[in-house]
């Protein structure tokens, strides 16, 4: 009497950098037992969003379109389009917006984060964000209208890397607009002196007014109000100050941190539900230097490592701990200028940095379209995987 072998269902929620890295690597590694393992990717849209280039979309710069189904073609992974509305960790099911219910044996949670507009009154109502291609396109339409009018003020809130890149891109694309960059720190505060000085000089050259050491207390229809009462007129406000994650994980009963990110063990498994792996911005992943912060640089490796861990568990082995160190911080300053700050593993700045045209070439190499990277992952041998690091591919050993 023959018995039918049960299929192990792996569901990947989210097809950003981390989710796609996990899905493609999982499909590649489980391909030989495809009858026993099924990988399903769930995402709200079919278009792959290059989050690190959304400031270019906002400035009406043309970008190529990448289709998630096409990127998964030939891998064996299945694509399901839909918004995730609930996760039932007890029943091991995912519900999407058309009321379909997807069962899973293993879940990879890669839903990522969005701009946190909840902390300041009015930000959610009046500020633009770069949380999605659609959000960036809304800002692009507004900036284009202001540019055609020949004048206007754009306030970019947040002096971190996204704020710097956005302010520079907008100022270069629309030189007749007045761009003001607001934040609690000076731009480039996390860089060494040479890199920070280059950032400030570039912003000055582009005409960006920088107001460091200030905090926005309220966003209004035509202005931003600072703590202390000062008001700055603004025809458009871009909010880049911090991120938040969806409350789905907390609602599902998974253990989360104070920001709603899933707390993981060393193998990237949820500490409360080990059949759930959390990657990218949705995960609170602790390393020796502290909890990782969300970047593409760290997101793709977490996705790959989750795939390696799942494959090991399916093969009856124990997963290995995830180890990650930061390598660099590339920052564009318009189309013809950039800074690349090389870092220690804990993300503190080294003395080495690149500026100007050399930094542009370096940044365009390491932050180019992820399609070739995912293409390499499709063909990876079982002995390891690769992700881009510093312009080269670094092997991750998963089986030995």
Domain 8-112+246-324+369-397: assigned CATH number? 3.50.50.60
CA distance 244 to 231: 26
Percent of the chain beyond pLDDT 70?
90
Longest Cα–Cα distance of the chain, Å, equals: 80
Q: Which residue has the higher pLDDT, 374 or 92?
A: 92
Tell me the two tokens of residue 38: 């099924």
Q: In the numeric block, which tokens belong to residue 86?
A: 């609930």
pLDDT computed for residue 374 by the predictor: 59
Each residue's pLDDT tens digit, 223-247 = 999 999 999 999 999 999 888 898 9
Cα angle for residues 222, 226, 232 (degrees, 5° grid): 35
| 120-173 confidence digits (pLDDT tens) | 999 999 999 999 999 999 999 999 999 888 889 999 999 999 999 999 999 999
Cα dihedral 27, 31, 33, 38, rounded to 10, equals: 30
pLDDT at 59 over 80: yes
Fold category of 123-239 in CATH: FAD/NAD(P)-binding domain (3.50.50)
CATH 3.50.50.60 residue window(s) in the chain? 8-112+246-324+369-397, 123-239
pLDDT tens digit sequence for 12-41? 999 999 999 999 999 998 876 767 999 999
Round to whole Å and give the CA distance between 40 and 33: 15
CA 372 vs CA 16, 117, 194, 329: distances in Å:
15, 34, 33, 21
């Amino acid at each position: 009497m023959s018995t039918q072998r049960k299929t192990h269902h792996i569901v990947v929620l989210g097809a950003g950098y981390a989710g796609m890295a996990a899905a493609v690597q999982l499909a590649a590694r489980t391909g030989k037992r495809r009858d026993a393992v099924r990988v399903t990717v769930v995402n709200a849209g079919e278009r792959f969003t290059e989050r690190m280039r959304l400031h270019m979309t906002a400035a009406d710069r043309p970008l190529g379109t990448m289709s998630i189904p096409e990127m998964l073609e030939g891998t064996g992974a299945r694509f399901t389009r839909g918004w995730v509305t609930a996760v039932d960790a007890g029943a091991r099911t995912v519900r999407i917006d058309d009321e379909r219910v997807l069962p899973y044996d293993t879940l990879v949670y890669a839903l990522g984060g969005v701009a946190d507009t909840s902390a300041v009154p009015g930000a959610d109502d009046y500020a633009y964000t770069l949380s999605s291609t659609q959000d960036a396109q809304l800002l692009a339409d507004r900036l284009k209208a202001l540019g055609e009018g020949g004048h206007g003020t754009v306030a970019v809130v947040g002096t971190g890397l996204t704020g710097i890149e956005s302010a520079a891109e907008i100022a270069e694309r629309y030189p007749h607009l007045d761009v003001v960059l607001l934040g609690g720190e000076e731009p480039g505060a996390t860089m060494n002196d040479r890199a920070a000085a280059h950032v400030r000089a570039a912003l000055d050259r582009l005409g960006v007014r920088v107001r460091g050491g200030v905090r926005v207390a309220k966003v209004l229809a035509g202005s931003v109000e600072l703590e202390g009462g000062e008001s700055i007129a603004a025809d458009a406000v871009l909010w880049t100050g911090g991120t938040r994650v969806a409350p789905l994980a907390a609602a599902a009963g998974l253990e989360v941190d104070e920001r709603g990110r899933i707390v993981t063990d060393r193998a990237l498994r949820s500490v409360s539900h080990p059949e759930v792996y959390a990657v990218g911005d949705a995960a609170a992943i602790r390393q020796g230097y502290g909890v990782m912060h969300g970047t593409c640089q760290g997101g793709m490796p977490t996705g790959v490592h989750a795939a390696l861990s799942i494959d090991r568990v399916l093969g009856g082995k124990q997963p290995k701990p995830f180890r990650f160190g930061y390598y660099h911080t590339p920052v564009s300053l318009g189309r013809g200028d950039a800074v690349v700050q090389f870092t220690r593993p804990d993300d503190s700045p080294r003395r080495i940095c690149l500026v100007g045209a050399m930094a542009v070439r370096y940044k365009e190499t390491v932050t180019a379209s992820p399609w070739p990277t995912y293409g390499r992952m499709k063909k990876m041998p079982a002995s390891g995987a690769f992700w881009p690091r510093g312009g080269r591919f670094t092997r991750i050993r998963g089986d030995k």
